[in-house]
């Protein structure tokens, strides 16, 4: 037993060392990063890797500021989409932290702000996650129908993109919604679908969770033996992966089922183990449940002192939970009021957008008409100019042709004159030549 414990501790230390090394590597890479796109990726990785709720929000705030600053600059469409996606992630993280701390109003506000961006850039995975987160808020508020509505919307998107990891979580949520509605047959269908995907993807934590849920179905139907089979399977996996919270829950559930069967010794053993683990991790709800189970077991065994101690512990933990629920209930009313206002505001904003769109369309129509008229006038003017040009070209051509004709005629006339002159010169010798010839003729007579 001690050897096994040492192996577990050694493996845990190795895992912790590797985990810390990974965070340190990410921090070093962040300091050396030269590009903002790289910084966004590294900040996201640090947020996911860092478990401390006092540390990762600092990285998240840095991511939010970085993306907001970049979005104020001149970006191309791909760059803008990239930074908007990371901004949506940071807003979603703020919503998650607010939800975890019980600030429902802030959580729902940031979840919706993240969703609005995701819808704008058509980030289907982000939209599906936001739907699940918003559904969880309604589930906490006791509005099961609204929670189911958002989970079904998420499932539809996840089936389109075939994201099995998130789909398994969504299916489990839907199963829980139907379970809360007492629709046991549908709940079992969705729990089984989730289990199939988790086994396919080797998600051990998810498998354990689904097995536990299926066990609760058989418990509801009165088949305790079958319920115990599923809860024990769940416990075994949770022990393998050292999920203390899950172990505490499963141990208490097994104790409760054994008690229902009248098997008090077995119930007491599992109940004590569940309480010990739940006190180690400090979850009031699990501690309260374990104390309540042990209280009933001790009463059945006539151990009233021990039963009273467990009753006191149950009340103490219940008070802690009630204080949380009281705060949540008051926020629910604020949430409903906020949504009524939001619906009115969104409707008014949409009407403004519609009015602006119509005005823009009319303005564009006017501009188009002005353009058509102006273009038509320019075309008419251009035609007149072209016509004048063509006429001028035609006239010039005629003039040139006429000039050529005149030149030809003139040449012909000049040639005729020159030719006539040459003929006249040949046929009419000079007067001296004639006199000379006459004189020669006289001398011969």
pTM for the model = 0.64
Q: What is the token pair recorded at 332?
A: 């629910």
List b or e across 232-256, with b for residues whose CB sees 16 or more CB atoms inside 10 angstroms: bbbbebbeeeebeebbbbbbbbbbb
* Percent of all residues in the chain with a pLDDT value above 90, rounded to a whole number: 59
Of the pLDDT bands very low, low, confident and very high (cuts 50, 70, 90), residue 324 is: low
DSSP letters of 152-182? HHHHHHHHHHT-HHHHHHHHHHHHHHHHHTT
**pLDDT for 11:** 35
Question: Alpha-carbon distance 42 to 36, whole Å?
Answer: 10
**Residue 138 in contact with residue 331, Cβ under 8 Å?**
no
Residue-averaged pLDDT of the chain = 80
Residue 17 in this model has a pLDDT that exceeds 50: no
Structural contact between residues 300 and 264, judged by C-beta atoms closer than 8 angstroms: yes
Helix (H, G, I), strand (E, B) or coil at 34: coil
First to last CA, the chain: 179
The 3-state DSSP class for residue 121 equals coil
pLDDT at 163 over 80: yes
pLDDT above 80 (res 319)? yes
Answer whether residue 262 shows pLDDT above 80.
yes
The predicted pLDDT at position 53 comes to 87
Q: What is the pLDDT of residue 14?
A: 39
Q: Is the pLDDT of residue 220 over 60?
A: yes
pLDDT band at 1 (very low <50, low <70, confident <90, very high): very low
Query: How large is the average pLDDT for residues 9-23?
Result: 49
Q: Tell me: the pLDDT tens digits for 407-436?
A: 555 555 444 434 333 333 333 333 443 444
Specify whether the backbone of 163 is left (phi greater than 0), alpha (psi in -120 to 50) or beta: beta
Question: Strand locations in 99-226, DSSP E?
Answer: none
Distance CA 369, CA 25 (A): 62
Q: Count of CB atoms within 10 A of residue 390's CB?
A: 10
Q: What residues have CB less than 8 Å from 334, skipping those under 6 apart?
A: 105
- Please say if the pLDDT value at position 117 is more than 50: yes
- Once rounded to an integer, what is the mean pLDDT over residues 329-336? 44
Q: Tell me the average pLDDT across 83-95.
A: 96
Give the pLDDT confidence score for residue 195 in this predicted structure: 97
Q: Which pLDDT tens digit goes with each residue over 240-261?
A: 999 999 999 999 999 999 999 9
pLDDT of 349 higher than 90 = no
Query: What average pLDDT score do residues 76-105 get?
Result: 94
For residues 209 and 191, the answer to whether their CB atoms sit within 8 Å is no
Is residue 93 within 8 A of residue 111, CB to CB? The reply is no
**Helices and strands in the chain: count of H runs, count of E runs:** 16, 0
- Domain positions in the chain are 267-336, 364-444
Mean pLDDT of 296-313: 94
Please check the confidence at residue 440 and state whether its pLDDT lies above 70: no
């Amino acid at each position: 037993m001690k050897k096994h414990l040492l192996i577990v501790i050694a493996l845990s230390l190795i895992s912790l060392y590797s985990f810390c090394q990974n965070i340190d590597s990410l921090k070093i890479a962040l300091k050396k990063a030269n590009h903002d796109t790289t910084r966004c990726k590294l900040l996201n990785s640090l947020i996911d890797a860092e478990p401390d709720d006092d540390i990762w929000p600092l990285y998240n705030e840095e991511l939010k500021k970085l993306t907001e600053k970049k979005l104020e600059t001149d970006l191309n469409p791909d760059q803008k989409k990239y930074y908007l996606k990371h901004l949506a992630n940071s807003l979603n993280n703020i919503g998650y932290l607010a939800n975890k701390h019980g600030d429902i109003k802030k959580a729902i506000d940031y979840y919706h702000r993240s969703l609005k961006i995701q819808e704008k850039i058509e980030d289907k995975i982000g939209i599906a996650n936001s739907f699940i987160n918003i559904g969880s808020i309604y589930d906490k508020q006791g509005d099961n129908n609204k929670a189911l509505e958002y989970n079904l919307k998420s499932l539809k998107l996840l089936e389109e993109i075939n994201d099995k990891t998130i789909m398994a979580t969504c299916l489990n949520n839907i199963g829980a919604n139907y379970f809360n509605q007492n629709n046991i047959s549908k709940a079992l269908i969705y729990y089984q679908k989730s289990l199939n995907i988790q086994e396919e993807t080797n998600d051990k934590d998810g498998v354990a969770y689904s097995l536990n849920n299926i066990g609760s179905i058989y418990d509801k139907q009165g088949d305790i033996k079958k319920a115990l089979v599923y809860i024990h399977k769940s416990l075994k996996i949770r022990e393998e992966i050292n999920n203390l919270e899950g172990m505490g829950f499963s141990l208490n559930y097994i104790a409760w089922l054994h008690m229902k069967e009248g098997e008090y010794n077995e119930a007491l053993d599992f109940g004590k183990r569940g309480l010990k683990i739940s006190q180690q991790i400090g979850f009031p709800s699990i501690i309260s449940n374990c104390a309540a189970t042990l209280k009933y077991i001790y009463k059945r065994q006539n151990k009233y002192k021990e039963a009273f101690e467990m009753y006191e512990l149950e009340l103490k933990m219940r008070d802690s939970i009630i204080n949380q629920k009281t705060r949540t209930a008051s926020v629910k009313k604020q949430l409903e009021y906020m949504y009524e206002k939001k619906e009115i505001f969104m409707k008014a904003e949409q009407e403004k957008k519609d009015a602006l769109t119509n005005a823009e369309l009319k303005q564009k129509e006017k501009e188009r008409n002005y353009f058509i008229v102006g273009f038509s006038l320019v075309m008419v003017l251009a035609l007149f100019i072209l016509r004048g040009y063509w006429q001028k070209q035609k006239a010039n051509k005629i003039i040139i042709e006429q000039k050529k004709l005149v030149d030809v005629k003139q040449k012909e006339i000049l040639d005729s004159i020159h030719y006539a002159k040459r003929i006249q010169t040949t046929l009419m010798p000079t007067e001296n030549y004639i006199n000379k010839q006459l004189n020669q003729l006289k001398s011969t007579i």
